[in-house]
Structure 1
Amino acid sequence: MIRIMAAMLAFATLTACASPPPSTGDEVQRLASEILSLGPDVDPEEANRASRIAYSYTAQLVQEYEITDPPLIHNAKVNKGLRPRGLCWHWAEDIERRLKQENFQTLELHRAIANADNPFRIDHSTAIISRRGETLYDGVVLDPWRYGGVLFWSPLVEDTKYEWVPRDAVLQQRRVEQYGELLPYVSE
């Protein structure tokens, strides 16, 4: 059993610390085009602005978080107090907060969590941008944690590495589970 757990941990570590996909072309413009393709009522200026901010703010956070290692190693440093921030939920929270400052009229931000129900993998959080009024399932994942400060983005339906669930649904389920643990034992 210990060998199986060690093998699973090694596999999870190797896949989570994979190298980022190669850059081709103008990444900012490609993301802006993807955001614009979310619907005909998406403002092109907002799509461009959201894309520019997603890339420039990711670069700023790399400096602030002192990223020098792959994600799981950086996580260990944050958890030991050796780095200020940089867990996946920090990236998601900070990117979401920054983009919300723009008060977009045609775009909306969401948060999602993957692996919350998988005891063999750590939870992973991300921010998602969609057309206003749409769900996160219709949006684009913005995930700077996955490749250690290199912005990964993809339409959610094409992001097969994770099964994203709305953050509020995960947190509500956890509250229900924790409440159940707090109830006093009543014998029949």
Structure 2
Amino acid sequence: MTRLVFALWATLAALILGGCAPSQPFVGKTEVDALAEAISDLGPQVDPAEAQRAASIAYAYSKQLKQDWNVTDPAIIHNAKVINGFREKGLCNDWAQAMTQRLQQENFRTLDLHWATSPPTAFRIIHHSALISAKGDSMYDGIILDPWRNSGALFWAPVREDTRYNWRPRLDVRAELMSGENPF
């Protein structure tokens, strides 16, 4: 009887713990597919194959850059390492530039790429990110592709839903900062 009770408890524990363990390949596939679907949903003119390719590249390239740049800490700590010369790359503008350039290599016919910037505020430093939209659409109708925020794990969201930052065209923010309009 004791062996039977022990076996039942061991089986129950294995089932519970096994059910709690994340399945990485499934999670990664689901995330890529979710982003591909969101990109496809940007408009009827978006080619689903291009959306899938962009999503796959965004996830894979984020992971590759994390490894290439030896990102092992939260983003702000990694920034300090870059600024102090302990790491070569990994500031948000490095991520934005690399992601934008990599996706531009695909010569998408139905998608546009943008470089978005959130100007500094009293509580936040300036932040840059790549952004993807349907061909001809405003960046405000696109999706932020931000691997910096989670240290190489891609964060994405529709621009209008990403309330953590005040995304604007990079050149507009640059002009504002150069003119002295932004006190930060």
Same fold (TM over 0.5): yes
Aligned residues: CA RMSD: 1.5
- 1:16-165 → structure 2 map (5 Å cutoff): 26-116=30-120, 118-165=121-168
SS in 2 for 1:142: strand
Residue 166 and residue 148 in structure 1: after superposition, are their counterparts in 2 closer, same or farther (change >3 A)? same
Q: Unpaired runs of 5+ in structure 2?
A: 1-26
Kindly, what percent of the aligned residue pairs are identical? 50
SS in 2 for 1:26: helix
- Give the ranges of 4+ consecutive aligned residues of structure 1 lying more than 4 Å apart after TM superposition: none
Supply the AA of the counterpart residue of 1:173.
E
Aligned to 1:20: none
Supply the AA of the counterpart residue of 1:174.
L
Q: CA deviation at 1:25?
A: 6.4
Q: Name the TM-score, length of structure 2 as normaliser.
A: 0.81
Supply the AA of the counterpart residue of 2:50.
E
Q: CA deviation at 1:112?
A: 1.1
Q: CA deviation at 1:24?
A: 8.0
Q: After superposition, give the CA deviation of every residue in 1:10-31 in whole Å (9 maximum; x if it has no partner).
A: xxxxxxxxxxxxx686100000
SS in 2 for 1:157: helix
What is the number of equivalent residue pairs in this alignment? 155
Contact 2:119–2:173 (Cα < 8 Å) also in 1: no
Taking the aligned partners of 1:39 and 1:31, their CA distance within structure 2 comes to 14
Aligned to 2:173: 170
SS in 2 for 1:129: strand
Q: Unpaired runs of 5+ in structure 1?
A: 1-22, 179-188
Q: Which has the larger radius of gyration?
A: 2
